């Protein structure tokens, strides 16, 4: 591993993912911009480089085994390793998602990207992360995945969502299981909530900017060695499960 910190951000061609890449790059890190769409990926990399960030494109479809394997090989070849993984790529699946009417295929697609995709990418990158001096994994979740908030009267957790919200609950549970398995390593893994951020994921209805939404990921990606693991956080602190 070089002295320069290497990070991979999935879904980094736009929105919160792009701002996470920009924020980590501003620290002097080398950042892999993971994205499926070649044109958007190339455009994001060019924009980041124009801002003085050491960015490189990583073709990556988190739902495809071969794509993820190829991405890991590319990072090993171009960067020599990996220190930080930010699992940001996600889909909503489209609304409405009331459980009595939702198409099971919608739920399946959300879980495939938002949960299984995280497992697929994380496991592919783990050999490099294990070799890092200070490895960090950040899973971008959402407060809509909080069962506590979902069942608290008056708490604003958005529309009824049997696919997206449930997938984020699932992701939080997976994060905890990773933390338990990796407890004897120096890998810190946490879930982060960006808040209600204006992105195309929600039709730009959010009240926070993508840069604000990226702040929690940057915080969790730069935790000290004695930082928390297996937690769920936003800018204000701990988010209830």
pLDDT digits (tens, 9 = 90+) for 3-57: 899 999 999 999 999 999 999 999 999 999 999 999 999 999 999 999 999 999 9
In a domain, 10, yes or no: yes
pLDDT digits (tens, 9 = 90+) for 146-161: 999 999 999 888 899 9
In a domain, 214, yes or no: yes
Q: What is the CATH number of the domain that holds 143?
A: 3.40.50.720
In a domain, 11, yes or no: yes
**How many structural domains compose the chain?**
1
In a domain, 232, yes or no: yes
Which residues are paired to 38 by β-bridges? none
Domain of 177 in residue numbering reads as 6-238
Quick check: 138 and 8 in contact, CB under 8 A? Answer: no
Please give the structure tokens belonging to residue 71: 């991405």
Quick check: 86 and 217 in contact, CB under 8 A? Answer: yes
In a domain, 195, yes or no: yes
Peptide bond into 118 cis (omega under 30): no
Candidates 18, 29, 164, 233; catalytic one:
164
Instruction: Report helix, strand or coil for 117.
Output: helix
In angstroms, the CA 208 to CA 118 distance is: 25
Closest by Cα among 62, 64, 58 to 82: 58
- Is the predicted pLDDT of residue 88 greater than 90, yes or no? yes
Active site residue 18: no
How many Cβ atoms from other residues are within 10 Å of residue 108's Cβ?
13
In a domain, 1, yes or no: no
């Amino acid at each position: 591993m070089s002295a320069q910190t290497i990070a991979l951000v999935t879904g980094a061609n736009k929105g919160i993912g792009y701002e996470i890449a920009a924020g980590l790059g501003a620290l002097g890190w080398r950042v892999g911009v993971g994205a499926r769409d070649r044109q958007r990926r190339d455009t994001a990399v060019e924009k980041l480089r124009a801002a003085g960030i050491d960015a490189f494109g990583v073709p990556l479809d988190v739902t495809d085994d071969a794509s993820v394997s190829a991405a890991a090989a590319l990072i090993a070849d171009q960067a020599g390793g990996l220190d930080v993984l930010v699992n940001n790529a996600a889909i909503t699946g489209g609304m409405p998602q009331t459980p009595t009417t939702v198409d099971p295929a919608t739920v399946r697609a959300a879980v495939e990207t938002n949960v299984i995709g995280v497992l697929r990418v994380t496991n592919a990158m783990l050999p490099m992360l294990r070799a890092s001096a200070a490895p960090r994994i950040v899973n971008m979740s959402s407060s809509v995945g909080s069962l506590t908030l979902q069942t608290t009267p008056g708490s604003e957790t958005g529309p009824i969502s049997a696919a997206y919200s449930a997938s984020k609950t699932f992701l939080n549970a997976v994060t905890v299981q990773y933390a338990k398995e990796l407890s004897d390593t120096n890998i810190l893994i946490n879930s982060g909530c960006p808040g209600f951020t204006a992105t195309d994921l929600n039709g730009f209805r959010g009240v926070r900017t993508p840069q604000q939404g990226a702040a929690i990921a940057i915080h969790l990606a730069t935790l000290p060695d004695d930082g928390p693991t297996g937690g769920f956080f936003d800018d204000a602190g701990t988010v209830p499960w």
